[in-house]
A = this chain, B = another copy of it.
């Protein structure tokens, strides 16, 4: 009886959270400019109500009773235990704090839009300072043992710490630098065919073709355009993706579509009968990112995938008719340093992430102020990537995350790629003829494997336990480096 009541209350909270997702989706894809303030109000009011329900005393008592209930099975126990963790987290914040943060985020997001348009970080600086102050306060409220940043990392990747990230990122920096350096001395590949004139409508239709090809259910979602592509779930039966279209460059739509499609496949594969409960939710951001990266890079940038789909692409876009499949494959895997994270190749990409991680780490530690942010950014880019920016719009204003107050989010991008490589290596062992399936345009053996191994479990396992369950070991960056070294040795004939 009380487990039933727990389900009802949890689902009510989930309903409101998904309503918040609708408001956010609309804000990023459709909202007219003058509606921004009103939307900020609505989101703040909704956040307040969610906070109220999530911290409701009777709800907490119910969870406390249930955690001591021996009648529950292991799945129910896992649900209750994770909900109790969420409850304890939520009760750390006052309603006032939550609403104030939501309001600040809305202001900050509007300022970011304006600053990006004007290419001037100064417009963003003041609102961001206010938001960062709140994030620092948040870390103190959440509590941590070693590093204030640990409190924030835990929000996106449970139990992740600065120590662990450093242990992964430091050797990765070294290994990647070596590989990139080898590549830079080799004969370069050409990707000029991605530039040209590609009508927006036709690109969007090809995006839908690709989404369907990887198994995305178009009856349980839709694709729209937004400045910064994202995927978002409105609950069972409605997982949406957005993409970005540049008529002069085919690459933006293509990679953002596959990437967000991968995220959405995860959400579409979560068990609906666990709606509103932890077992109906994704494990963590890095596992989420493992799904998008697996489809984007391990599948979407592979030769077999394009053996299946390149004829369709050539049929729809005559510009590709003069480009051979092999050249297309090499071109879409071109390694070249780039200013923009979301446009980076799969090796340089991690330096973009590491730069943001190191900045966030210092900001949270108090060693860096928002007023110094632009300089720190430019210095790190000069040092790691030998890149300089023409203006803030292409530099420090390129990502929306900080405008959303999402500090601790970036490292999960790189961890996701590492998990993806490890999972994909295992998939190739478990599924006989997988590469052959992909080359025939059949993605369903892979998707079924992911459904069974990853999606179906929701939060039953932790990220680390899932990785061990699937691959027999914890996260190990050598899978990624092996994959990358093999692939680029072949492409660049190193």
Contacts and interface: CB of A to CB of B under 8 A. Distances in A.
A15 B30 contact: no
A204 to B, nearest CB: 14
A30 B222 contact: yes
Interface string A18-46: 11001100100011111111110110011
Given A12-B45, A38-B234, A38-B237, A221 B32 contact: yes
B238 A32 contact: yes
A76 B375 CA distance: 53
B235 A41 contact: yes
A33 B237 CA distance: 8
B235 A38 contact: yes
Contact of A42 (B19, B35, B49, B222): B19
Contact of A37 (B32, B33, B224, B236): B236
Given A19-B46, A35-B236, A35-B238, 10 more contacts: A12-B45, A15-B46, A16-B45, A19-B19, A30-B222, A32-B219, A32-B220, A37-B236, A38-B238, A39-B234
A18 B36 contact: no
A34 B235 contact: no
A217 interface: yes
A18 B42 contact: yes
Contacts of A240: 32
12 contacts: A18-B42, A22-B23, A22-B42, A30-B222, A31-B238, A32-B220, A34-B217, A34-B219, A35-B234, A35-B237, A38-B238, A39-B234
A218 interface: yes
A222 B27 CA distance: 13
Interface in A333-380: none
A414 to B, nearest CB: 32
A34 B23 CA distance: 19
Contact of A34 (B30, B32, B220): B220
A144 to B, nearest CB: 34
A39 B41 CA distance: 22
Interface in A232-246: 234-238, 240
Contacts of A16: 45-46, 49
Contacts of A217: 34
Contacts of A45: 12, 15-16, 19
Contact residues on A (Cβ < 8 Å of other chain), bracket: 35 or more
Contacts of A38: 18, 234-238
Nearest to A218: B32
A10 to B, nearest CB: 12
Contacts of A35: 220-221, 234-238
Contacts of A220: 32, 34-35
Contacts of A224: 30
A240 to B, nearest CB: 8
A51 to B, nearest CB: 13
A148 to B, nearest CB: 33
A489 B460 CA distance: 76
A453 to B, nearest CB: 24
A32 B237 contact: yes
A217 to B, nearest CB: 7
Interface string A182-226: 000000000000000000000000000000000001111110100
Contacts of A19: 19, 23, 42, 45-46
A16 B47 CA distance: 11
Interface in A61-78: none
Contacts of A30: 222, 224
A316 to B, nearest CB: 19
Given A18-B42, A26-B22, A33 B219 contact: yes
Nearest to A276: B41
A237 B36 contact: yes
